[in-house]
Chains A and B, each alone.
Chain A
Amino acid sequence: MIVLFGQYALLLAVLTTLWGAIAGALSGVSGSEGLLSSSRRAIAVSCALLTAVVAVLEFALLSDLFSVRYVAQNSHMTQPLQYKVSALWSGQSGSLLLWAWILSVYSAVAVAIYRRKHRALMPWVQATLSGVLLFFVYVLAMVTPPLAVGAPQADGAGMNPLLQNYWMMIHPPTLYLGYVGFAVPFAFGIAALLSRRTGEVWIRTTRRWTIFAWLCLGTGILLGSYWAYIELGWGGYWAWDPVENASFMPWLTGTAFLHSVIVQEQKRMLKVWNIVLIILTFSLAIFGTFLTRSGVLSSVHAFTGSGLGPHFGAFLALVLCGSLALLIWRLPDLRSEHRLDSLVSRESSFLLNNLVLVGIAFAVFVLTTWPIWSELATGKNVSMGQPIFNRVTIPWFLVLIFLSGIGPVIAWRRASFRSLRNSFLGPFVAAAGVAVVLLAAGVRQVYPLLFYFCSVFVLGTIAGEFWRGARARMKTAGESFAEALGRLIWFNKRRYGGYIVHLGVVLCVIGIAGSSAYKREYTFEQVHPGTKMECDSYRLTYDRHRLESLPEYSSVVMEATLEREGRRLAVLPAEKRSYQRVENPTTEVAIYSSFLPRSVRDLARVGEDVYFIPVNVDPESGLASFKIMINPFVNWLWLGGVVNILGTGLAVLPDRRERRLMALALEEKRAVA
């Protein structure tokens, strides 16, 4: 009964969304106020209807309605409550429903906020948002209905136990909040083209939407890697898997967009480029959903065989070609009002940053989709391995890190030699000093040296910015250092939030470079309880094994005592679990992280993990094989991620200064019109 209600709500949502798009577009053409508010109401109703569908599916999951096919596939009677809730997005049609629902909520919020603003833009914004939503609602209603009813079943198949992890619960929604979030700036970009208001208004209006989407996408990627690290049990966090790349590509172009809009705001240049970037970013966000959901990479045949592939392909082509055609049509409206003067300027460094980011995204795109092209061209499905991704991208990441030290500090238009020396000499000397110390300490690999050099250089320029800004306030306003620093940040949230994000990125880089270059692995085969395993300066003693039996799974727990230099650090419990419904056992690694150093030599161990993997165990005798990895600096990556989130959070807060600039931009528009 309630399922039927949900099915009707979904069908109805197709109609209301369709009307939202039509009324919006008609209002854009005719200027009708009535149609505009009609479209607005349609968007609100679509949001309410989709909320109802989500509620019905969630209700079906929680009350074990196994007659609903999706519930039978993704849940079972004794599945823990939190995983019954998250089963909503563990399968295909559920996660598409989540996509559509988030988009409808974003759209409803956006039209509510801008109800009385942007009269010229809103009709097209509403038409674009509804148009995108229409596709997803249509696919949900016609191709993969989430509430389809099958034969009644006593129990369901249940969720894959690997996905039953706290981080995996929140990873997909976070990622989707990011993917979908780019729809709002995209809609404003399209509206700017259609209404021929291509100044900074659309960019300033969507600034916080973009940052929020970027934050969610980045956080989602990080949560995914953290989940891979603690759950998948191979000791790494990134494998250039297509699923990872799918989320990384829009993040790259989104990062480029966040930077290049600054140039348009300040210099009124790069107008075309910004539109191109937001079209690319949004298309890649859809492409990411498509890549993970259509199976196109396993085989082109799977793509044509599954119901979803062709629909997504057509929609993607429409979005990409339609937007680009529109862009070409409006090119005359998008002239730059300034020009590039010097290669040594902030404009140039931002341009280079954009070129590199888009270049990396393009390289990742080609390598990820290689199976498609190779199968189409030669009939062979050939995929690219990890090393080639690293080889192609790492040098460019190095350039990016270096630029993140230059870009925010260097002067607009043309930087003088004197200003360059003032801003960069100190950080450069510090970085060179650290490089020399590292060389003296025996570091010989080129990439780690270069990455640490750049990291210190960027840290130096950021510190310099904070120091100069705070000192200026101390002089003029007579504030204490802490007070000056606090106010400096609070009244320039965007700028200093950005610096904090750069700081976070540098911490991530330190973590990634260190853990990739200096990780060490030790294998111990067929050891009996009581065996001492020496690795590095650590000693792990395999104490005992015990069997545990829970309703969900039974497991073999292997306990090992970790010591270093005679000091007992922890007992590490690693586990092999066998879930009832799954044939292969799952591995639960045990991780010990060091944080506080006890001596100068220990400094290199700050953020180091001992990663204890049970490879195989004989439950009877306890005879087991282990792999132990020492992952230095890896916790810097997670710390950097948290700093990133804090910095972005700061930049997204309302800011008086940004509001004033927005008002100014609006004034100017009116004066021109």
Chain B
Amino acid sequence: MSGGTDARKIKFLITGLLVAGAMVALFAVSLNQPGAAYYISVTDFKRGQAHGDNFRINGKVQPDSIRRQPGGMDLSFTMTDGTSLLPVRYHGVVPDTFAAKADVVVEGELGADGVFAAHTLLAKCPSKYEAAAQARPPAGGG
């Protein structure tokens, strides 16, 4: 009787572990796949400077750095995390939330001319993260 219960328990335990194991495995594999790039700050990007490859970088838009082509799709601006600066050029749809001081994420590669060529531009929703905007300490404070 108790032997039967144990066998049953083990059966369920193994099934459960298999499912959980599959989830963890998938997670680990996805983390290591190229292109699943997570994003890094401007300073961290500059520190490990490399050309080519796909990078995702987040930072803020430097005020007065935005240049748009009238009626076209070209945009250039400078991105900063408070410490380092990175000039960016982009061609495509610019989200409405993109503005001076907005939190943005760019994805692309560093060109030979030192300008980051972004193929993707994301901007964070301005209404949220309110405390962050108000309470961000001076750069380099930590």
Contacts and interface: CB of A to CB of B under 8 A. Distances in A.
A308 B131 contact: yes
Given A339-B8, A383-B58, A523-B73, A298 B40 contact: no
Contacts of A387: 35-36
Interface of A: 90-92, 160, 162-163, 232-234, 239, 241, 243, 292-295, 297-302, 305-309, 339-341, 343, 348, 351-352, 355-356, 359, 363, 366, 370, 380-385, 387-388, 391-392, 395-396, 523, 525-526, 582-587, 613, 615-618, 621, 623-625, 627
A293 B38 contact: no
A491 B85 CA distance: 66
20 contacts: A91-B130, A92-B130, A162-B96, A162-B125, A233-B93, A234-B95, A299-B142, A301-B142, A356-B19, A359-B23, A381-B41, A383-B38, A383-B58, A384-B38, A388-B31, A396-B23, A583-B100, A586-B96, A616-B68, A616-B72
A538 B132 CA distance: 45
Given A387-B35, A391-B30, A627-B93, A301 B141 contact: yes
Contacts of B8: 339-341
Nearest to B12: A340
Nearest to B41: A381
Contact of A295 (B35, B69, B70, B135): B135
Interface of B: 5, 8, 11-12, 15-16, 19-20, 23, 26-27, 30-31, 33, 35-41, 44, 56, 58, 68-73, 92-100, 103, 105, 107, 122, 124-137, 141-142
Given A293-B130, A295-B130, A385 B39 contact: yes
A356 B41 CA distance: 33
Nearest to B31: A388
Contact of B127 (A90, A341, A380, A625): A90
Nearest to B60: A298
A585 B124 CA distance: 16
A154 to B, nearest CB: 23
Contact of B137 (A301, A308, A343): A301
A395 B25 CA distance: 12
Nearest to B100: A583
A618 B70 CA distance: 5
Contacts of B137: 301-302, 305
Given A302-B136, A392-B30, A343 B15 contact: yes
Contacts of A340: 8, 12
Contacts of A384: 38-39
A47 to B, nearest CB: 27
Nearest to B107: A385
A528 B141 CA distance: 50
Given A380-B44, A381-B41, A295 B131 contact: yes
A302 B132 contact: yes
B62 to A, nearest CB: 14
A587 B123 CA distance: 14
Contact of A615 (B93, B130, B133, B142): B93
Contact of B33 (A234, A391, A587, A627): A391
Contact of A305 (B31, B98, B127, B135): B135
B125 A621 contact: no
A368 to B, nearest CB: 12
A535 B96 CA distance: 24
B73 to A, nearest CB: 5
A177 B137 CA distance: 34
Contacts of A395: 26
Q: Which 9 A-B pairs have the closest CB atoms?
A: A295-B132, A618-B71, A623-B71, A306-B131, A306-B135, A298-B132, A295-B131, A305-B135, A584-B99
Given A233-B95, A363-B27, A298 B68 contact: no
B134 A306 contact: yes
Nearest to A388: B36
B23 A621 contact: no
A579 B44 CA distance: 36
B73 A615 contact: yes
Contacts of B133: 295
Nearest to A380: B44
Given A295-B129, A624-B71, A385 B37 contact: yes
A606 B20 CA distance: 38
Contacts of A618: 70-71
Contacts of B41: 380-381
Contacts of A306: 131-132, 134-135
Given A339-B8, A392-B26, A616-B72, A584 B98 contact: yes
